[in-house]
Structure 1
Amino acid sequence: MRFDENEIEWLADLMAQSAAAEIMPRFRKLEGEGIRHKTSPIDLVTEADVNAELVIARELRARYPGALVVGEEACADNPSILAGLQEAQFAFTIDPVDGTFNFASGLPLFGVMLAVVKNGEAVAGIIHDPVGGDWLIGVKGAGSHMRTAEGAETRLRVAEPAAVSSMSGSISWQYLAEPERSRLARNHARCRSAIGYRCAAHEYRLLAAGHVHFAVYAKLMPWDHLPGTLIHGEAGGYAARFDGSAYRPFHTDGGLLVAPDPESWRILRNELWTEA
């Protein structure tokens, strides 16, 4: 199926409508059983995550019969769904509330993320900020842009390459094993500054708009990274797994380093992982 501007518009509207109906009414109003732990005290799920994903998945299946829908919460209940991404001709990934820890803590740093996958390749990505009411949108081969609630569009462009000492970025070392965890945390001090939003949606926003230079992610789930890497790539950026191989929708390991260009990726890979 070919995705034209009307399809992207429909998907962006669906994300915003679901957020308005299921996410924002619960923001700073959750209590008790409205918040649950998944794998750890910092890995949370809320009523907003579950309900928003159900709404988005239902509408996607109605509009695109036969498409595989890979939602974060559905995969938490049935991990076998993930395997379908490698073979599916047409699929969607959904992160209904990226940054659930922030959302549950009452911090306005969360987003809704969606990617379109055709024949094992991400072809479109959308990140919606329910608080700001805007979207980051990228389509394979057509660039990426930010769209405001009023409809104004701004082309996205990643940061210009710079010396590591002048770079700002994020390293999600909490998901790394030792000794790599301590090595990366220590070497992060070689950079100008660090960010850590606990929200890939907002980190990719900064990356694609050129406000920060790099990000390192150890945990690769498709709903967290397919939209952002597509948008970032269409803004001129470069991303690859730690071993230099291409990142694919079905990858869940191997880490991910996101950088302004291939040369910056190579330099960061050397500087951040060095022993001394």
Structure 2
Amino acid sequence: MIEQIEEFLAQGVADVEEAVRTAAATEIMPRHRQLAAYEIDQKAGPHDLVTDADRNAEAYLTKVLPELLPGSVVVGEEAVHADPATYEALKGGAPVWIVDPVDGTRQFVRGETGFCTLVALALDGVLHASWTYAPAREQFATAIRGRGAVLDGEPLTAGSPGPGSELSVAHSHPDYTTDEQKHALLALRTEGVRPRPCGSAGLEYLAVARGELDATAFSWEAAWDHAAGLLLVEEAGGAHLTLTGEPFRITGGNALPFTAARDAATARRVIDVLARGA
């Protein structure tokens, strides 16, 4: 199966980009700043929104992506909400497309530009490729395992913070955290760290890969939020660690919170801070 993945990535990367761009052009951007009230619903609560753009874009990608790679399956945010058992495909033996049709739905609903479409391709829990598209900002980032990461065709390099510099860290938004998670993240309020609540997870990962943000600190595991960005950061030279010092696993069972950072030393520094509050 790995040979099938490698063969596909040798010639099919542009086809996935075209599918993602088409989903955004037909289902997402026509609704940007044009959403009617009946096109917006709540899932788990007032902070967990879903729109017709989310549903329709995911439906399009769920149809098209397995056609590009026969035998593959899709794990999409909205499909998992409807049937949580579909998440188990991440642990199966088939190639898996991990899809977040609109990452940053709250920003999308507000008419802001801080949202993106995320797609990643994995096999046996290993990420092999990812696509991050911010259509309102006209930014498209791609990462291929072992071949690097690019943003609009230009190589991405995360670099490293300056020695002893204050770290900028985007962390899980308080609206999406339990009291226990809030307590762990409070450790970031310390000398040498400049924390702030995150927006779209996909765009925060892109900021790390670009060297504009030093690290993230997230307290949830949903693969559609993290898969694309984790590979983007890795291929830009960054690293990710969980609270036990192990890399994050998209199949779950991670010690949380976890971080993705511009380099391994920064990841360790952030984990050491988070461990104080865990």
TM-score, normalising length: structure 2: 0.90
How far apart are 1:253 and its partner, in Å? 4.8
Give the conservation status (yes or no) of the 8 Å contact 2:20–2:133.
yes
The structure 2 residue matched to 1:91, chosen from 88, 96, 99, is 96
Give the conservation status (yes or no) of the 8 Å contact 2:42–2:49.
yes
Partner of 1:155: 155
Q: Are 1:202 and 2:218 counterparts? A: no
Equivalent position SS for 1:190: coil
Give the counterpart letter for 1:85 in structure 2.
L
Change (3 A) 1:179 1:225: closer
How far apart are 1:262 and its partner, in Å? 2.5
Partner of 2:51: 46
The list of structure 1 runs, each at least 4 consecutive aligned residues, that deviate by more than 6 angstroms after superposition, is none
RMSD across aligned positions (CA): 1.9
- Take 1:62 and 1:4, find their aligned partners in 2: how far apart are those partners? 14
> Any idea what the Cα deviations from partners look like across 1:107-150, whole Å, max 9, x if unmatched?
11100000001232110011011112221110001110101xxx
Change (3 A) 1:23 1:257: same
Give the conservation status (yes or no) of the 8 Å contact 1:171–1:196.
yes
Partner of 2:13: 8
Partner of 1:150: none
State percent identity of aligned pairs.
Answer: 28
Unmatched runs of 5 consecutive residues or more in structure 2: none
Number of matched pairs: 270
Partner of 1:28: 33
- Take 2:121 and 2:52, find their aligned partners in 1: how far apart are those partners? 25
Give the counterpart letter for 1:25 in structure 2.
P
Change (3 A) 1:177 1:243: farther
- Take 1:6 and 1:169, find their aligned partners in 2: how far apart are those partners? 36
Unmatched runs of 5 consecutive residues or more in structure 1: 148-152
Query: More displaced, 115-124 or 163-172?
Result: 163-172
The structure 2 residue matched to 1:131, chosen from 113, 130, 136, is 136
> Any idea what the Cα deviations from partners look like across 1:176-210, whole Å, max 9, x if unmatched?
44345135235335345334342012101100000
Change (3 A) 1:43 1:252: farther
Partner of 1:82: 87
Partner of 2:270: 268
TM-score, normalising length: structure 1: 0.91
- Take 1:173 and 1:132, find their aligned partners in 2: how far apart are those partners? 22
> Any idea what the Cα deviations from partners look like across 1:23-72, whole Å, max 9, x if unmatched?
00001111222100001101100000000000111111223232111111
Q: Are 1:259 and 2:264 counterparts? A: no
Give the conservation status (yes or no) of the 8 Å contact 1:136–1:144.
yes
Partner of 1:230: 231
